[in-house]
Amino acid sequence: MYTVLARAESSIPHARMNNATRTDQRPIHINTDQPNFRILQWPAVVKPRMRNYHSVMASHPLATAIGNTIGATLHPQPAARVHGGSINECYRWEANSGPVFVKVAPAQSRDMFAAEAAGLEVLKSANAVRVPQVLGLGTTTDSAWLALEWIQSGPNASFRKSDSILGEQLARQHRATHTAFGWSRNNTIGSTPQLNDWDASWTKFFRERRLRYQLDLTVSNGYGGGQLHKRGEVLLDNISQFFSTYHPVPSLLHGDLWGGNRLTDDQGQPVIFDPAVNYGDREADLAMTQLFGGFGADFYDAYAVAWPLDPEAHTRVDLYNLYHVLNHLNLFGEGYRSQAMSLIDSLLAHLGH
């Protein structure tokens, strides 16, 4: 057992933690005896880029628009802001049919919400892990919104108890496969565009649509000059070595599976949300569960029983998590640069560079 910095679970009983910032930290104990576990220390200070808060606390027209779309009567104002919201504003909104979870952003974010809704529907069709039901989405003059089923979370103690169920169910979700890697539409990872053009080659897809895209963004954002980009290009040139004997199938992925995008409902069942859906290597989902913690040994054990991993899966954990660390560098700034550099150096050392 180690004491590490990890995101604290929400103290708000009904919090869904959608798009929660990853800067809310306190020491907690997590089990590091699980297979392939790697501790990545948080930067001491991570300062998210400032954004304009899109307040809707007095928006009767928005309540009317949502109600007309989902067939319910909403109170003129939301009942409460939900914990989180580093990308969008998230609210519990009371309606005559019960509470509704509503995400709100500027009107130009409608496509992002549409992709999220489509992703939730695809995950639901896998009949594996529970996801919130999509109630509707739309726009007003200045706002885009997405209305989802409100899911009552269970007590904090139930979070760990659902680990084994989630492991088995995630393996079942990953058995929903496609003939190629990608998805039918682009979506976002956080607020960063995620490119999903179909490709028959996983190595090419992950190199070009994931790592190279993020690495190029670091240059555009002023973080990627010098050794980061130079060493990153060497890694891209040699990435095929990680797949010389391993040929993954295109599995249905959540795509952003960290501890803040899961909860346990009041019946003890796991729920996942805020997806960045695509068909890819299932190891990518599992790698991200290790990046920030929040998943216990029972989760990994149950997954391994349901669908054992390739014996060399541990060699690709850092490769898949590099994508998310680069994305955090692009979203939140310089605090993640040293982590990205460390991962690249470690991966190249594994390859003998």
Q: For 185, left (φ over 0), alpha (ψ -120 to 50), or beta?
A: beta
Query: 231-276: per-residue pLDDT in tens?
Result: 999 999 999 999 999 999 999 999 999 999 999 999 999 999 999 9
Q: State the pLDDT at residue 224.
A: 79
Residue 158's pLDDT band, with cuts at 50, 70 and 90, is low
pLDDT at 19 over 60: no
What's the pLDDT score for residue 22? Answer: 42
Instruction: Please state the rounded mean pLDDT for residues 51-69.
Output: 74
Residue 282 pLDDT > 70: yes
Q: How confident is the model at residue 87 (pLDDT cuts 50, 70, 90)?
A: confident
Q: pLDDT at position 6, please?
A: 30
For residues 12-34, average pLDDT:
35
pLDDT exceeds cutoff 70 at 339: yes
Per-residue exposure over 325-347, b if at least 16 CB sit within 10 Å of its own CB, e if not: bbbbbbbbbebbbebbbebbeeb
Lowest mean pLDDT: which of 15-24, 133-142, 172-181, 276-285? Answer: 15-24
Using an 8 Å Cβ cutoff, are 135 and 70 in contact?
yes
Do 60-149 and 157-350 show the same overall fold? no
Confidence of residue 161 (pLDDT cuts 50, 70, 90): confident
pLDDT of 318 strictly over 90:
yes
Let me know if 318 is exposed, middle or buried by CB neighbors in 10 A (0-12, 13-18, 19+).
buried
Q: For residue range 178-230, what is the model confidence (pLDDT) as tens digits?
A: 999 999 999 999 999 999 999 999 999 999 999 999 999 999 999 978 999 99
pLDDT band at 8 (very low <50, low <70, confident <90, very high): very low
Is residue 41 over pLDDT 90? no
Q: Which fold has domain 157-350?
A: Aminoglycoside 3'-phosphotransferase; Chain: A, domain 2 (3.90.1200)
Torsion angles phi and psi, residue 167, rounded to 5? -60, -45
Strands (E) across the chain are located at 2-7, 25-30, 80-81, 89-93, 100-106, 134-139, 143-149, 187-189, 192-194, 251-253, 262-264, 270-272, 278-280
Return d(Cα 128, Cα 106) in angstroms, integer.
32
In Å, what is the CA distance from 66 to each residue of 59, 117, 240?
Answer: 11, 15, 48
Residues recognised as catalytic: 256
Do 116 and 148 contact (CB within 8 A), yes or no? no
User: What residue segments make up the domains of the chain, in order of their start?
Assistant: 60-149, 157-350
Mean pLDDT, residues 123-128 taken together: 98
Rounded to whole angstroms, how far apart are CA atoms 279 and 296? 25
pLDDT of residue 85: 56
* Mean pLDDT, rounded, of the chain: 86
User: Which pLDDT score, from 0 to 100, does residue 23 have?
Assistant: 38
- Judged by DSSP in three states, 352 sits in coil
* Residue 156 pLDDT greater than 80, yes or no: no
Give the pLDDT band of residue 4 (cuts 50, 70, 90): very low
DSSP string of 172-201? HHHT-B-SSBB-SS-EEETTEEE----BS-
Cβ contact 144:110 at 8 Å: yes
CATH number of 60-149: 3.30.200.20
Amino acid 157: pLDDT: 62
